[in-house]
């Protein structure tokens, strides 16, 4: 990932509220297209220039060729706030984040995230490196907002259940673990949509914790079809189960690792 600085220069008198609305609208559109990562984008005023720093998956993530219709519309509306199109400066690689995948058409891919990840939830199945969302066709309504919103909810549930300090732990664990939960069903449907538009086998990650014993866990069936899906060797030391029919992967319960 790379840290970039976007500079917005005023060409006429304007107001802080107009600038705030225009820039934040653009940053939201870029986020929902996967071109910038994270949710907070501080705006700094430097006389007649407003500067924003963000993390991007690649050096050229903000190139016009990747812009969604929503991003293009927000860029056009900058003039309403008397702002010129942003100048982009790449400050360097972010040492605290993962590098993006090099192969955007792997033999298989997987929807996988955790609450500590800010990168794309679409991962190369061969390397587990994140594939920038703008590198695949829009999932719904012209961009990738649906998958970004799903990721935000999944990560929120993951953080609550990991903390384990309140009654909500069980409800949030249900959402990321059980195949009949709303969040699981929505994520699995998005997986199907991505597979349809990319023509690449796309799997969904089922989080697993708990269980009666290691022996029972190793015999755990696929949560959708009930079939045998245990692997002889784990993939990436993470996925111990893989159902090619249902397109689901899962870990051996964390309680037995």
Place of tokens 């597979």: 195
pTM higher than the cut 0.85: yes
Nearest to 251 by CA among 114, 153, 139, 141: 114
If residue 215 lies in a helix (H) or strand (E), which one and from where to where?
helix 214-218
SS3 track for 143-178 = ECHHHHHHHHHHHHHHHHHHHCCCCHHHHHHHHHHC
Percentage of the residues of the chain whose pLDDT score is greater than 70: 100
Residue pair 5/51 in contact (Cβ under 8 Å)? The answer is: yes
Angle between helices 145-163 and 16-32 (to 10 degrees): 90
Residue pair 249/191 in contact (Cβ under 8 Å)? The answer is: no
Q: How far is CA 34 from the centre of its chain?
A: 7
* CA dihedral for 144, 150, 155, 156, sign (positive or negative): positive
Residue pair 122/133 in contact (Cβ under 8 Å)? The answer is: yes
- The span from the CA of 252 to the CA of 202, in Å, is 20
Q: 10-residue block means of pLDDT along the chain (257 residues)?
A: 96 91 97 94 91 96 96 96 96 90 95 93 97 95 96 95 86 95 97 97 95 89 95 96 98 87
Give 81-124 pLDDT, tens digit per residue. Answer: 999 999 999 999 998 888 999 999 999 999 999 998 889 999 99
Q: According to the model, what pLDDT value does residue 95 have?
A: 87
Give 115-155 pLDDT, tens digit per residue. Answer: 988 899 999 999 999 999 999 999 999 999 999 999 999 99
């Amino acid at each position: 990932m790379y840290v970039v600085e976007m500079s917005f220069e005023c060409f006429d008198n304007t107001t802080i509220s107009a600038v705030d609305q225009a820039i934040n609208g653009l940053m939201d559109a870029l986020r929902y297209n996967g071109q910038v990562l994270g949710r907070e984008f501080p705006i700094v005023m430097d006389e007649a220039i407003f500067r924003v720093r963000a993390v991007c998956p690649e050096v050229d993530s903000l190139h016009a060729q990747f812009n969604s219709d929503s991003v293009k519309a927000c860029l056009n509306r900058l003039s309403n706030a008397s702002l010129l199109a942003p100048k982009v400066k790449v400050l360097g690689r972010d040492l605290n984040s993962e590098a993006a995948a090099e192969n955007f058409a792997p033999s298989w891919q997987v929807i996988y995230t955790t609450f500590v990840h800010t990168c794309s939830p679409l991962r190369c199945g061969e390397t587990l490196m994140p594939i920038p969302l703008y590198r695949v066709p829009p999932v719904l309504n012209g961009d990738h907002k649906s998958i970004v919103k799903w990721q935000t909810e999944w990560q929120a549930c993951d953080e609550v259940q990991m903390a384990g300090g309140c009654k909500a732990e069980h409800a949030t664990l249900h959402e990321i673990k059980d195949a009949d939960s709303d969040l699981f069903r929505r994520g699995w449907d998005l997986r199907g949509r991505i597979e349809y538009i990319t023509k690449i086998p796309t799997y969904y990650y089922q989080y697993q914790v708990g269980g009666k014993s290691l022996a029972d866990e190793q015999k755990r069936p696929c949560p959708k079809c009930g079939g045998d899906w245990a692997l002889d060797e784990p993939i990436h030391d993470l996925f111990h189960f893989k159902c090619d029919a249902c397109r689901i992967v899962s870990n051996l319960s964390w309680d037995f690792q």
